[in-house]
Each structure stands twice: as structure tokens, then as C-alpha cells.
Amino acid sequence: MKLLQGRRGRLADLGAGDGRLVFAASSAGFQCTGFEINSILVAYARSKAYWRRIPSSQVTFVKKDFWKADLSLYNNVTAFLVPGVIEVLGEKLLKELPQDALVISCRFPFPNWPQKSAAGSGLDQTFAYEINSVRSHLRKTEMKWVEYCG
């Protein structure tokens, strides 16, 4: 949540689990969607939203594989996944997210992406990336390679 300070708009949590991050972001004013494939966790998170009387305009839990979701509507994306997934996820995010998007990854950084900031330490470390900076960094790196290879 520290890394989301100053941000607003729509947020997608990729792999929302029991919804804890979605609820925290919703309390901070974000319009949140939690994508989750485990139907028990989706039911649990939805029931929490129901008992807390949070309207679906603020919080939605979708039982869906996030790889099949269109993420182009979201200007904030959070993920707490596993290292092997992160690199491939980076490609999807670079293709779909708007230029002003912020991506936050818990525990596992995106390799070769320049970080905007980080918070926490050890297993609790979390990394933030501005997608426009990542795109321009990767473009520059690619151009250097083209020059180098002739």
C-alpha cells in the first residue's frame, strides 16, 4: 500500500487470494478487481465484501485465469506470484497496460525492469514499476543491442 501512495483509479490484483490486498486498496479509494482461479477463495473474498457492504462498483472478485483477462483497463496492477511466472507476466503487462500504469510485484522483482521504488525487506520486499519507464528502458536496451550487433 505504501507503493500505491499518490495513485488512483482502477486496480487489478492478479491472484487475489482471500482478497486482503483488494480490500486494503479499496479502502484507499481504488476501484478494484481481484482475479483468482481458486473458486473457494473467490467465494470467501466475495462473502467478505458482502458482509462489509462494499458495493461491486468498488470491489469485484472474478473467478478467472488472469492470463485470459484483458488488463488494458487497469492503471494499477499488483501481483504476488512465483518467480517463473513473473518474466512471462511482464510481456503481457507490456503489451496491454496503458502508459500511465504502475505495476507492483510482491517479493519477486521483474528481471531487467528498472524499479521506480521498493518497500520492505527480505521476504516482505515489494517492487514498483512505471510501465512507461520500463518501455523506454527496454527500447533503449534493444537499440544498443542492434548497434552492437551491427
Ligand X SMILES: C[S@@+](CC[C@H](N)C(=O)[O-])C[C@H]1O[C@@H](n2cnc3c(N)ncnc32)[C@H](O)[C@@H]1O
Residues forming the site for ligand X (CB under 6 A): 13, 15-17, 20-21, 35-38, 41, 65-67, 80, 106
Q: At what angle do helices 131-149 and 83-96 cross, to 10 degrees?
A: 100
In the block, which residue shows the cell 458495493? 55
Helix (H) or strand (E) holding 11: strand 10-14
| Least CB distance to ligand X at residue 66 (A) | 4
Residue 75 CB: number of other CB atoms within 10 A? 19
Smaller CB separation from ligand X, 50 or 67: 67
Smaller CB separation from ligand X, 82 or 143: 82
| Least CB distance to ligand X at residue 47 (A) | 16
Angstrom distance (rounded) from CA 12 to CA 98: 13
Smaller CB separation from ligand X, 41 or 134: 41
